[in-house]
Structure formats: C-alpha cells, structure tokens
Amino acid sequence: MTGLSIIIPVLDEAIGIVPLLTQLTGLRGRGAQLIVVDGGSSDDTAALAAPLADLVVHSERGRARQMNAGARHARGDALLFLHADTILPPDADRLIGMALETRAWGRFDVALAGAHPLLPLIAAMMNLRSRLTGIATGDQALFVRLALFRQLGGFAPIPLMEDIEFSARLKRAGPPACLRRRVTTSARRWEKNGVLRTVLLMWRLRLAYFFGADPQRLAIDYGYRPGP
C-alpha cells in the first residue's frame, strides 16, 4: 500500500467533527489523506472541517453517494470509509497496509461506546456475525483497494444497506481481512431509541433486505434517515 485515503461522510456533525479530525492528525501526518464529504449540512460542519482535512467535498445527501463522491477525489491506493462517530486505532494505517498485502478488502472489529450493559454483547455479536458471513457494516470501518472499488463501481446509490450490498459484491473478489483490533463507535442511536428496540429494528431491516425488499421502500417504511 502506497497511500491511504480516509473518506468521512457527514451530515450536521458540527459537534463532533473537530474532535474526530483532531484524532486523525497522526494518520494525516504519516501521509493519509482526509476527505470529508458533506451531504448538505445545515450547521457549520463543512467550515469546521476545512482546516483539519485535506479536502471538503459537497455532494448529494445519502451515505452511499457521499462515499462515492469522496472516492473520486482519493489519491491513495487504498480507501477507508469512516463514520463520523467512529474512532480508529492510532496505527490504523499500518494495520490496513498489512491486511491489504494479502487481501483486497477488510474491516475492523467494533466496540460500542456507551453505558448500557448490553452494548459489549451487541458488539461481540456484530463482530462474530461479520466474521462468519464475510459481510461488513459501515460501523466497522470498511477498507478496500482503490482498484477494486473502481472495478466494482463503488457503492450502490441506495438509501439503506449500502454497506451490506457492497460487501456482498466484494466477497466475490475474495474474503475480507477481519481485523481483531477494534474501532470504537458511538452507541448514540442505540441509546436514543432504546437498545433492544434498535437491535430488533436492525434485524428486521436486514431480514427484509435478505428476502429481497427494496431498500428505498425499507427506508420509507421504517422512517430511516438516509445519510451519515
């Protein structure tokens, strides 16, 4: 790997964008490119990100569209897609470089930051499911060689399940590198809507998608807010 581009889709993340990008300063200092892709924030997200990122891109709202837009500006030969509420290990660039020596794509294990006693179990189940199925979710900081990303045409422009859909196509090129080092992602959506309720909702969404439900219809039916 000769370069890493970190692509961060954002929407109204003014509160957290500066701490996130500050945490990535070490990676940037070692040559990682930081690309923030704003999907039409109504706050100061883009302005706050500009001094701390290599590039701020504006695109249509929707995580898939935003990540594709960021990838078009990537100068690294590897891409890392990072949610705005997820923290990477400080040596993520080294870990990704080692993984991509033998695999074309991969993801990290995840830990959920929060006080609810069920969160460690939920994270463990997410990691186990991903390891057994070879499917990664966006919370796990998916990474991929740029050449393969372009070969597959990037993320499908759907409002939901874009990470699941892309992982399924990536699997055809080979199994993922499932790194046991953890990224830490916020449990805000679990805590805001209720941990058990959120888990059940996610299971219902994925089960419906598995049986062929249209992601557009799922997003409408479940009131899902497409975007970061």
- pLDDT, one tens digit per residue, over 36-55 is 999 999 999 999 999 999 99
Do 67 and 81 touch, CB atoms closer than 8 A? yes
For the chain, what is the total number of helices (H) and then of strands (E)?
A: 11, 8
Q: How many angstroms separate the first and last alpha carbons of the chain? A: 27
Residues sharing a CB contact under 8 Å with residue 150, sequence separation 6 or more, in sequence order: 71
Q: pLDDT tens, 147-188?
A: 999 999 999 998 888 999 999 999 999 999 999 999 999 877
**Considering the domain 4-221 in this protein, what is its CATH number?**
3.90.550.10
Exposure string of 6-28, with b = 16+ CB inside 10 Å and e = fewer, is: bbbbbbbbbeebeebbeebeebb
Alpha-carbon span 67 to 55, nearest angstrom: 13
Tell me whether residue 36 is exposed, middle or buried, using C-beta atoms within 10 angstroms of its C-beta: 0 to 12, 13 to 18, 19 or more: buried
Give, in order, the Cα–Cα distances in Å from 30 to each of 8, 33, 95, 181: 18, 9, 13, 20
Alpha-carbon span 196 to 191, nearest angstrom: 9
Alpha-carbon span 209 to 16, nearest angstrom: 31
Give 60's pLDDT tier (boundaries 50, 70, 90).
very high
For range 68-79, the mean pLDDT? 98
Q: pLDDT tens, 87-125?
A: 999 999 999 999 999 999 999 999 999 888 888 998 999
Alpha-carbon span 62 to 145, nearest angstrom: 22
3-class secondary structure, 152? helix
Alpha-carbon span 99 to 44, nearest angstrom: 36
Q: What pTM, to 2 d.p., does this model score?
A: 0.90
